[in-house]
Amino acid sequence: MLQEIPEGKWIASFRRVLKLNGIGQGTQVAVVAESQSRPVLMQLCSLALYDLGAEYSTIVLPTQEQTAIVPVKSTGACNAIAGKRHVIEALKQVDVVVDVTVEGLLHSEEWSEIEEAGARLFVICNEHPEILERTEPQVGLGPKVDLGIQMLRDASEMRVTSAAGSDLKIDIRNAPCGGTPGFTTSKGGVAHWPGGLCLCFPGEKTINGKIVMAPGDMNLTFKTYLNAPIAFDIQDDFVRAIEGDSLDADLFREYLAAWDDPIAYGLSHVGWGMNPRARWEAMALYDKRDVQGTEFRAWSGNFLWSTGSNQYANRYTLGHFDLPMRGCTITLDGTPVVINGILQGDLA
């Protein structure tokens, strides 16, 4: 277990990244945490914000009661605000919300109202500071992520294939697209650290085909590498069958079934990783408590798909899987953006 204490090098890293997010002298900032947040992340934010001359406050909310039958992990939808009007109104008054909650406010239902008021969100993911230090956002990644997002917006179809047997077709016309290099200075913008993603949220009845996850692919809800293949039959956005005779497959089936909710079987978002500082093998070197797993959503050239809520297809559920895969080929209208897990052209 790594020690979680403020280190000078981590204060410097936080200072650089907060500055990259447009925070400086006089910037109005609210740091939002919860009782189960990592104390070291709150401490590093405070020290760096003080050095930058920001006008900041820290709001620490009680972590909400666990009500689901199984653990709720990796949702990106922290429920700690819980509709509290005084918190929502306070966050609407600042320039930047720095988020160090456990799950993050990215998909929380309160965020859209706060965003409309003009605040921008910077999520510092619930990782050990060593992971954040190693994946510190770099200015040069910004144009590449912007290009990837624009390519998604311009395309009509995404197709994903792999040597393991994946063959997935996704109609992405009019699909909301996004991503982040790990920083933003735009009013109402959203960024997270670690960053480096390009993704979209396909609409209703747009995803069909087969996904075959191979050994070494990752289940980030469980924070594990797969040891055996799992095949998924996808019809009109939903997982209709899960094939595999292994512990990996059994755990996947049991967790989905535990929600007793058909929407848990729906797909949420699809995309690929762009961050050359994020490493596929790094999870083998950390305790589970040290990682939230955002690094592994962003490693360069992965195909990332997820199950769970997709607000753009009017589907909501607490059940969620994030599932990055190696060695896939991704094309947009026939043009490859990733070949066998390697970014292509100006994205590389």
Phi, psi dihedrals of residue 322, rounded to the nearest 5°: -115, 130
Instruction: State pLDDT tens for residues 74-97.
Output: 777 788 898 899 999 999 999 999
Q: To the nearest whole number, what is the mean pLDDT of the chain?
A: 95
Q: In the prediction, which pLDDT does 1 show? A: 58
Q: In the prediction, which pLDDT does 27 show? A: 98
29 CB contacts (<8 Å, ≥6 apart)? 23, 49, 54, 55, 56, 57, 94, 95, 96, 97, 98
Is residue 53 scored above 80 in pLDDT? yes
187 CB contacts (<8 Å, ≥6 apart)? 118, 120
Question: What is the arithmetic mean of pLDDT over 134-157?
Answer: 97
Min mean pLDDT across 8-17, 47-56, 101-110 is at: 101-110
Q: Are 131 and 194 in contact (CB under 8 A)?
A: yes
Is residue 226 scored above 80 in pLDDT? yes
More confident residue, 236 or 1: 236
Is residue 49 scored above 70 in pLDDT? yes
Q: In the prediction, which pLDDT does 78 show? A: 82
Which of these, 30, 28, 23, lies nearest to 86 by C-alpha position? 30
- Tell me which amino acid residue 323 is: L
Instruction: State percent of the chain over pLDDT 90.
Output: 87
Question: What is the arithmetic mean of pLDDT over 7-34?
Answer: 98
Q: In the prediction, which pLDDT does 341 show? A: 98
Is residue 62 scored above 70 in pLDDT? yes
Q: In the prediction, which pLDDT does 2 show? A: 75
Distance of alpha carbon 17 from alpha carbon 130, whole angstroms: 14
Distance of alpha carbon 160 from alpha carbon 60, whole angstroms: 42
Is residue 237 scored above 70 in pLDDT? yes
Distance of alpha carbon 163 from alpha carbon 336, whole angstroms: 16
Q: Is 118 left (phi over 0), alpha (psi -120 to 50) or beta?
A: left
pTM equals 0.93
Distance of alpha carbon 112 from alpha carbon 108, whole angstroms: 8
Provide the token pair at 197.
């993603």
Task: Place domain 8-134 in its CATH homologous superfamily.
Answer: Response regulator (3.40.50.2300)
Domain ranges in the chain with CATH number 3.40.50.2300 = 8-134
Question: What is the arithmetic mean of pLDDT over 39-57?
Answer: 98
Instruction: State pLDDT tens for residues 182-217.
Output: 999 999 999 999 999 999 999 999 999 999 999 999
